[in-house]
Amino acid sequence: MKLWQKGYKLNREVEKFTVGNDYILDQRLVKYDCIISIAHVTALCDAGLITEEEKKSLIKTLDEIIKLADKGKFMIKPEEEDCHTAIDNFVIEKLGVAGEAIRIGRSRNERIIGSLRLYYVEKLGEIIHNINQLVESLKDFARKYRRVIIPGYTHMRKAMPLSISLWAKSYVESMKDNIKLLEFLSNFLNTSPLGTGAGFGIPIKLDRKLIAQHVGFRSIQKNPLYVQCSRGKFEALLLDGLTQVMMDLNRLSSDIILFSMSEFGFFKIPKELCTGSSLMPHKLNPDALEIVRSKYHAVLAASVQVKSTVSNLIAGYHRDFQVMKEAAITSIDTTIDCLKIMVLFVENLDIDRKKCEKSLTEDLFSVDKLHELVVKEKMSFKDAYRLMAEKHLKKIL
């Protein structure tokens, strides 16, 4: 039975179309909705709307669902649409009329928003953890090869010498900035929508602050309509944060792919991390890095989807918002997977010291020489620059 069932039969095509794969995606949210529901029935009891007895049996049943979900044994049927309906059905089947209390004084919508936020916050924590692991592996790499110098490039042209340490630490600093950003975003999203109904408040008085505390939210979002309007707004921010992480992984992949080409040869990727070609027996391809590089674009696209979806619509809930759930969830999974793969690559990346050394051609040191002329020989900057430039041009042309 659906939460809104009211005596007529929904067209089956429409039903299938509207449910989509929500019932699969929602497996991730069961736990969070139960946590929220426990806080809700506690508040109902505090407000004298259900008895202490009823509260206890409701909480017991919800705990039971959490345990089932942990074991992957809580099933959501397609016709139930989502985890919230499945949870209510389970509770009502178990407790009868007493179970129906779970629906008093709230809307499915606030439960979805609340569950998603708890999920986002938990996942952002997991992502930060994975970024920290990448930071550690990058630091190890920097330490291990700190004396190795390769050319630094601008405009894809040899520019000045670049130590492996400087290279690896540029990602360390960038990733630390990402953590700063994600922590800010995690706090930003960690605000309670509970007790706001469908965007216009609820007809009974519940203590919103207490509910939020019970669930573990850091603050409450005051305005019920803003709660609805932050659908998409918050997801956009979440995805912007992931995009920053993926942008760095995209560049890191690009670096490793280029610098492990035989034409450069600075890096060596162990064969166990490479795949081959069905046609060319000699190939060792960095597929996983290419996929990481590519997944940046998938996350970027997800953020475009979200930001475009919510546009040109008036305040208040629209069903369009539900479609964005998949974009957010998939992007979170992608970011975690890519971070883990990247740790594996950085930990196992090797360096060919000879090739690095050989690549250090004279032109890389032109800035040093220029400044020697200026500082020590007191030549004017322009004259020194011209002298060096002409010398170099003569050599290569």
Give the footprint of a second copy on residues 121-150 (CB under 8 A). none
| Nearest-approach distance from CB 165 to a second copy, in angstroms | 10
Number of residues that bind a second copy (CB under 8 A): 167
Kindly identify the residues of this chain, within the stretch 185-214, that bind a second copy according to CB under 8 A: 188, 197-204
Residue 10 interacts with a second copy (CB under 8 A): yes or no: yes
Burial level of 238, CB count in 10 A (0-12/13-18/19+)? Answer: buried
Residue 8 interacts with a second copy (CB under 8 A): yes or no: yes
Residues paired with 27 in a beta bridge: none
With CB under 8 A as the contact rule, the residue among 45, 164, 327, 346 that binds a second copy is 327
Kindly identify the residues of this chain, within the stretch 222-251, that bind a second copy according to CB under 8 A: 222-226, 228-230, 232-233, 236-237, 240, 243-244, 247-248, 250-251
Binding segment for a second copy (CB under 8 A), chosen from 27-35, 64-72, 116-124, 362-370, is 362-370
Instruction: Please identify, using beta-carbon distances, which residue of 49 and 66 lies nearer to a second copy.
Output: 49
Helical residues (DSSP H) of 145-232, grouped into ranges: 164-189, 208-215, 224-229
CA-CA-CA-CA torsion for 342, 343, 348, 353, nearest 10 degrees? 80
The three-state DSSP-derived secondary structure of 33-50 is HHHHHHHHHHHHHHCCCC
Query: Among 10, 59, 33, 47, which Cα is nearest to 116's?
Result: 33
Residues paired with 158 in a beta bridge: 153
Residue 100 interacts with a second copy (CB under 8 A): yes or no: yes
- Token representation of residue 187: 């706090």
Residue 4 interacts with a second copy (CB under 8 A): yes or no: yes
Residue 20 interacts with a second copy (CB under 8 A): yes or no: yes
Task: Give the x-and-dash track for 35-64 against a second copy (CB under 8 A).
Answer: --------------x---------------
Residue 340 interacts with a second copy (CB under 8 A): yes or no: yes
Residue 254 interacts with a second copy (CB under 8 A): yes or no: yes
Instruction: Please identify, using beta-carbon distances, which residue of 216 and 276 lies nearer to a second copy.
Output: 276
Instruction: Please identify, using beta-carbon distances, which residue of 77 and 371 lies nearer to a second copy.
Output: 371
| Nearest-approach distance from CB 217 to a second copy, in angstroms | 15
Query: Among 135, 122, 92, which Cα is nearest to 3's?
Result: 92
In whole angstroms, what is the distance from residue 318 CA to residue 376 CA? 70
What DSSP string runs through 15-78?
Answer: HHHHHTTHHHHGGGGHHHHHHHHHHHHHHHHHTTSS-HHHHHHHHHHHHHHHHHHHTT-----G
Instruction: Please identify, using beta-carbon distances, which residue of 67 and 391 lies nearer to a second copy.
Output: 391
Residue 376 interacts with a second copy (CB under 8 A): yes or no: no
Report yes or no: 33 and 124 within 8 Å, Cβ to Cβ: no
Report yes or no: 94 and 109 within 8 Å, Cβ to Cβ: no
Residue 217 interacts with a second copy (CB under 8 A): yes or no: no
Kindly identify the residues of this chain, within the stretch 147-176, that bind a second copy according to CB under 8 A: 152-162, 166-167, 169-174
In whole angstroms, what is the distance from residue 178 CA to residue 185 CA? 10
With CB under 8 A as the contact rule, the residue among 141, 295, 331, 356 that binds a second copy is 295
